[in-house]
Structure 1
Amino acid sequence: MPRRTSLALPLLGLVTALVVGGCSPDAPADARAAQRPTVLAAADRLPAPELAGPDVGGGTPNSLASHRGHVVVVNIWASWCGPCRAEAKALEEVRGRTAARDVRFLGINTRDPDVSAARSFVAAHGQHFPSIHDPRGTLPLRFPAGTVNPQAVPATVVIDRQGRIAAATSGPVTAPDLTALLDTVLAEPS
């Protein structure tokens, strides 16, 4: 039997969670709701990919690199995704509570060909964090294999201060789960 490295086991767990989660036709709703994300050990973390693109609101381009040194929540969403709408309030709630704690939020609006649908989503859900418009869905493909399922939204990835992937989950995230993840990553030494 082949020997697995310490990195393979946490990623295997992430892959399993990601396969059953998100806005995909083969993902049952109860599987999405049952996921509980966990923080990866520092030694098992991989670098976050380069993520950059035009802002949904039409302003200056956004990038993950501009948030280096901060804990960053990257949320991958689409305006047509029901679970994305369901988690929008929780994301904004946690964003508001953690802004003073050195946490930044960056959205990736994926597979929305018309940016006006994304703008309407942001306005309707009162989101106060930037989002990159990624109409072709190429940015989620940049994450290391097993981090996110690029075919399923929503997905949320927490990036530590060193720019490494600390946690990832597919499907709608709850405010308590995201807060717990952030508390753990924020408690780590800089």
Structure 2
Amino acid sequence: MLLNNFSNFTLEAGTDEAGRGCLAGPVTAAAVILPENFTLNLLNDSKKLSEKTRDLLKPLIEQQAVCFSVTHLEPIIIDEINILNASIKAMQECILKLNTTPLYIIVDGNRFKPLENIPHSCIIKGDSLYTSIAAASVLAKTYRDQYMNKIHEEYPMYNWKQNKGYPTKEHREAIQKYGTTKYHRMSFRLLPEQLELDL
């Protein structure tokens, strides 16, 4: 059973990201403020849900939320500031984009940077404990998947529609065969050490 609140503030935003471990595509974050006494059957950490369930939950979260926002940070920024900083930056940008300013922020994971004097707490596995973080995890994942499906049309040989940019054997074989694209994260190890990429 997910908990609705961590703090005593009603305007509490939950935030989470998707795509940290991918070789291609953005890191995507979402932030959500939910109403008091919010309940939504099936809601859980997005990683524990099927794609069909996430797609079902997405419009329900959007309709019922006090407010929500989503941010994509592109590979060029990830390569520039590293994936941890990019994940934090994406979550911060989401919170700043909310049309209601939260009084408290709860963050999935163990790292965040203070934002405009709004108190925050980092919660390990927060997306399986609190409704707002779980809702943010569903939005981050579904919006990122949509993005990857879209760029799949541009570069179908990497099969991003299926692997969403994660380091699958198939994805790495495609990188070895076709090289990299503007959507690949050049600061990541795109191929195992035994495979070299001719650049």
Structure with greater helix share of residues: 2
**TM-score normalised over the length of structure 2:** 0.24
Structure label with greater radius of gyration: 2
